[in-house]
Amino acid sequence: MTGHVPLPRETAPPYVPGATRGGMAARRRRSRRSELAVWWREIDRVLLFLILMLMAIGTAAVAAASPASARRSPVHLDDLHFLALHIRWQVLGLIAMFGASQLSRDQARRAGIVLGFAMLVALMLVPVVGTSINGAKRWLNLGISLQPSEFLKPAFAIGLAWILSWRLRDPTLPVMGIATGIMALIAVLLMAQPDFGSTVLFGAVWFVMMLLAGLPMRKLGTVLGGGIGAFALAYMFYGNARNRIDSFLGGGTAYDQVDLARHTLLGGGWTGTGLWLGTKKLGLPMAHTDYIYSVIGEEFGLLVCGLIVVLYLTILARVLMRLAHEEDLFTVLAGTGLVAQLGGQAFINILVNLQLFPSKGMTLPLISYGGSSTIALCLGVGFLLAITRRNPFLGHPVVRVNKGQRR
C-alpha cells in the first residue's frame, strides 16, 4: 500500500519588526523622487531661471535701498534691517512658488478658485476690521499683516479663466456678464480702501482676458467708454487719484517723490556709483518698495535697469510662445492673465519711476521688498509654472489642412 506523502509547506520569510514600515518609507521616497523627476522634465526651466534671476537682482537691490529706508524710519533701525526681512520673505515665497509649481493644472485651477473666494471674503472684511497704514486701510492683522488684494491677483486670473472657459460647454451661459460683475465688485472694494493702482491693474487684466475670450467688437466701444467714464469719476471724486494725476501733468508739491525718483534714477549714469555709494537715494521715500527701480539706476546703472526691462519682456514672450501651442482654453486664459498681471505691474512701476505714468504706489514684482506682495507674487509665478507644464515627449498638435492649402 502506497503511503500518502504530504507536500512540503511554503514557509513565510521570518518576520522582522519594522521591515514593512521601512519598505513603505522606501517606496514613498522612490515615488517622491519620481514625481520630482517628472516635474523637472515638464517645468519650463528657462522661465524658472528668469524668475530666479529677477529675485537675485531683487536681493541686491533691497540691499542697496535698505539703508535709505532704515534711516528715514522714526525709530532706530539697522541699515540692513529691510534686507534681512526681505530674505526671510523671499524664502517663504520660494517655498510657495515651488509648492504651487508642482501642482497639476486641475489642482492649480482648484487652488486658485478656493484662494480667490477666500481673498474676496477677506477683501470685504478690510473696510470693517482692517488696519490703516499711511492713510490706506488695506491690511488684515492676523498675527501678521495680510494684504488680501495681493493674494487675490493670481487667484483672479485663474478664477476668471475658469469662468470664461464655461463658454465651451454651454455658449448660452452669460460668462461675460458674470466676469464683469466680479470685476465691478472687486473695483468697489478696492476703491473703498482706497487702492486706485490695484483697481487699474485688475481692470487691465480683466480687459486682456475678455478680449482673448472673444469679447464682441461691438461691446468693445462700450467697455472703453465705461473705462473712460470711471477714470473721469475717479478724478472728480477721488482726491488721491486727482492729486497724483495733477502732479503728473503739471507738477506739484505734495508728490515730489516722483521727481526725486527720476533724479535718483539718472544719478549713477550708465554704470552706477556702486553698492552703498549712492547719495540721492537717501532723500527718496519708499526707496525699498515703490521706487527701488530708481535706486537700482543710481547704484547699479542704467544698463542694469535696461537688463531688468529685457528680463520682464523675455518672461512675457516666453509664456506667450509656450501658450501658443495650447488647445485648452482655460490654460491659455489663465496663463495669459497671470503673465499680464506680472508684466502690467512691472511696467506701471517702471513708468512711474521714469515720470511717464502717475504715481500708483505699486511694487516692482519679484524685486521690491514686501511681505504679502513677495509671497503672493511667488505664489502667482508658481501657478504660472504649473499651468505651463508640458510633457516634453508629446509633440505639438498637427493641424490638418485641405489640399491646395499651405501647411
How do the domains of the chain map onto residue ranges? 54-387
Confidence of residue 260 (pLDDT cuts 50, 70, 90): confident
Please determine, for residue 18, whether its predicted confidence score (pLDDT) is greater than 60. Answer: no
29-38, 84-93, 115-124, 164-173: which range is least confident on average?
Answer: 29-38
Looking up cell 521715500, which residue turns up?
A: 285
Distance CA 279, CA 332 (A): 46
Per-residue pLDDT tens digits for 24-48? 666 666 676 787 888 888 899 999 9
Please determine, for residue 254, whether its predicted confidence score (pLDDT) is greater than 60. Answer: no
C-alpha cell at 58: 531683487
Average pLDDT over residues 303-326: 93
Return the percentage of the chain with pLDDT > 70, whole number.
Answer: 79
pLDDT of residue 86: 94
Specify the length of the chain in residues. 407
Per-residue pLDDT tens digits for 79-107? 899 999 999 999 999 999 999 999 999 99
User: Regarding predicted confidence, which is higher, 282 or 359?
Assistant: 282
pLDDT of residue 402: 45
Please determine, for residue 238, whether its predicted confidence score (pLDDT) is greater than 70. Answer: no
Radius of gyration of the chain (CA): 26
User: Regarding predicted confidence, which is higher, 187 or 222?
Assistant: 187
Average pLDDT over residues 206-223: 79
Closest to 156 in 3D by CA, of 194, 202, 211, 123: 202
DSSP string covering 231-260, please?
HHHHHHH-HHHHHHHHHHHH--STTTHHHH
First-to-last CA distance in the chain?
86
Beta strands at 131-133 and 136-141: parallel, antiparallel or unpaired: antiparallel
Query: Looking at the DSSP assignment, which residues form a beta bridge with residue 133?
Result: 136
Q: What is the mean pLDDT of the chain?
A: 82
Please determine, for residue 280, whether its predicted confidence score (pLDDT) is greater than 90. Answer: no
